[in-house]
Chains A and B, each alone.
Chain A
Amino acid sequence: MHEISLVQELFAQLKELATANNATKIISVTMEIGPHCGVVVDSFQFGFDIISADDALVRGAKLIIEVPPVSYRCTNCRHVEVTTGGKPEECPACGELLLIADGGNDLMLRQVEME
Chain B
Amino acid sequence: MCDTCGCPSPSDHNHDHHDHNHSQAHGHNHSKTVDVHASLFAANDALARVNREHFDEIGAVALNLISSPGSGKTTLLENTIEALKGEINIGVIEGDIETERDADRIRAKGVPVIQLTTGGACHLDAAMTHKGFHRLQKEPGGQDIELLFIENVGNLVCPATFDLGEHERVVLVSVPEGPDKPAKYPKAFTSSQTFVITKTDLLPYFDFPLAEATGDALRLNPHLRTMDLSSTTGTGMEKWLDYLRELVHKMRAKKNA
Contact = CB atoms under 8 A, between A and B. Distances in A.
Nearest to A22: B24
A22 B34 CA distance: 12
A78 interface: no
A112 B33 contact: yes
B43 interface: yes
A66 interface: no
Contact of A39 (B35, B38, B161): B161
A38 B161 contact: yes
Interface in B149-201: 157-162, 187, 190
B255 interface: no
Contact of B39 (A17, A75, A106, A115): A106
A21 B20 CA distance: 13
Contacts of B18: 113
B39 A27 contact: no
Contacts, number: 88
A5 B33 CA distance: 25
A115 B187 contact: no
Given A2-B161, A17-B36, A21-B34, 19 more contacts: A2-B121, A2-B123, A5-B121, A5-B125, A9-B44, A10-B40, A13-B36, A21-B24, A27-B17, A38-B160, A98-B222, A108-B37, A108-B38, A108-B40, A109-B37, A109-B38, A110-B37, A112-B36, A115-B32
B158 A2 contact: yes
A59 interface: no
B122 A114 contact: no
A32 B37 CA distance: 10
A37 interface: yes
A111 interface: yes
B36 A38 contact: no
Interface residues of A, number: 33
* Across the A-B interface, the 10 shortest Cβ-Cβ residue pairs: A2-B158, A38-B161, A115-B31, A107-B40, A113-B33, A38-B187, A109-B38, A21-B24, A109-B36, A9-B40
Interface string B1-43: 0000000000000000110000011000111111111111101
Contacts of A113: 17-18, 31-34
Contacts of B34: 17, 21, 111-114
A25 B33 CA distance: 12
A108 B159 CA distance: 19
B219 A97 contact: yes
A112 B160 CA distance: 28
A106 B121 CA distance: 21
Given A36-B187, A113-B31, A115-B29, A6 B219 contact: no
Interface in B26-83: 29-41, 43-44
Contact of A2 (B24, B35, B162): B162
